[in-house]
């Protein structure tokens, strides 16, 4: 049987400061290839290029990745502010519509970081543009040196930084076989108020929402705030997540 195919969303970038391009972090592609066994296929985060219905006729699952750009505040009823840039309006347009279509068509969907936020906003959630500004919350952004530069050691940047408590008997607790996990943290935005179909199943020590599922979704539809793509080849939590995604992809392909 041919390998399943996973569509991985691209992000708009200006290569060399001049050339409009689409980019996907390689760790996302390797996570799909190494752990799910599927063929990763990048698609453009641009509504002028990507036909969602045609895309879902080709792929067996969709991965919405993290990204530098934030979801635009007008997508959840808030005024934009220069301090919370950059944005990627074209990816917003593709991803938010894609979330609902995947769920409606039972296409397995995994959202990571920005993808987690896109899933949330698609079903009516609001986001806080800088979760660390809420009293009592910790700084969830990536570690930096005293001079403000990003820490040069990726094992520090992507190191596990806080615990997440999972809903007993929920999808994530069942998947991981435990009710407490430890994860990395590299984000600014976070869920403020979850929408009606967003089921919160994982919360960090400071109250930040870290794991969600889509209520009444008949297929795989899970999102995580942490960067599970970093080390699923070796990290048992992230490996279990991608393996479950892979199982859903394979099952859908066999049923097709």
Q: What is the pLDDT of residues 137-185, one digit of tens each?
A: 776 676 776 776 776 777 766 778 789 999 999 999 999 999 999 998 8
Q: What is the reported pLDDT for 15?
A: 86
Helix 114-122 / helix 89-105 crossing angle, nearest 10 deg: 70
Is residue 100 helix, strand or coil?
helix
> CA-CA distance, 66 to 113, in Å (whole number)?
5
Neighbours of 87 (CB within 10 A): 18
Q: Where are the domains of the chain?
A: 5-255
Of the candidate ranges 44-48, 93-97, 105-109, 154-158, the one whose mean pLDDT is the lowest: 154-158
Q: Please list, in sequence order, all residues whose beta carbon lies within 8 angstroms of the beta carbon of residue 253, skipping any fewer than 6 positions away.
A: 1, 4, 60
Confidence (pLDDT) at 55:
97
Fold (topology level) of 5-255:
Rossmann fold (3.40.50)
Mean pLDDT of the chain: 91
Length of the chain: 256
Residue where the block lists tokens 């403000």? 148
Give strand pairing partners of 211.
Answer: 202, 224
pTM exceeds 0.85 for this model: yes
Beta strands in 65-197 (DSSP E): 109-112, 126-128, 162-166, 180-183, 190-193
Structure tokens at 98: 């894609």
Q: Angle at CA 159, nearest 5°, toward 157 and 165?
A: 125
Task: Give 204-218 pLDDT, tens digit per residue.
Answer: 998 999 999 999 999
């Amino acid at each position: 049987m041919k390998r399943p195919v996973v569509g991985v969303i691209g992000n708009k970038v200006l290569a060399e400061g001049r050339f409009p391009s689409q980019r996907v972090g390689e760790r996302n592609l390797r996570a799909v290839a190494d752990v799910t066994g599927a063929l990763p296929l990048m698609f453009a985060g641009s509504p002028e290029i990507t036909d969602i219905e045609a895309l879902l006729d080709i792929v067996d699952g969709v991965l919405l990745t993290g990204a530098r750009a934030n979801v635009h505040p007008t997508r959840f009823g808030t005024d934009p502010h220069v301090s919370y840039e950059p944005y990627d309006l074209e990816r917003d347009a593709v991803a938010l519509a894609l979330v609902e279509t995947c769920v409606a068509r039972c296409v397995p969907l995994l959202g990571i970081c920005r993808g987690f936020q896109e899933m949330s906003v698609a079903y009516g959630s609001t986001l806080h543009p800088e979760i660390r500004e809420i009293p009592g919350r910790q700084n969830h952004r990536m570690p930096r040196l005293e001079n403000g530069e990003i820490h040069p050691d990726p094992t520090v940047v992507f190191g596990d930084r806080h615990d997440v408590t999972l809903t007993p008997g929920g999808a994530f607790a069942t998947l991981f076989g435990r009710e407490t996990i430890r994860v990395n943290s590299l984000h600014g935005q976070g869920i403020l108020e979850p929408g009606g179909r967003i089921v919160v199943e994982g919360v960090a020590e400071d109250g930040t929402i870290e794991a969600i599922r889509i209520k009444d979704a008949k297929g795989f539809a899970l999102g995580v705030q942490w960067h599970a793509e970093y080390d699923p080849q070796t990290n048992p939590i992230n490996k279990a997540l991608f393996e479950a995604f892979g199982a859903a992809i394979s099952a859908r392909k066999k049923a097709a």
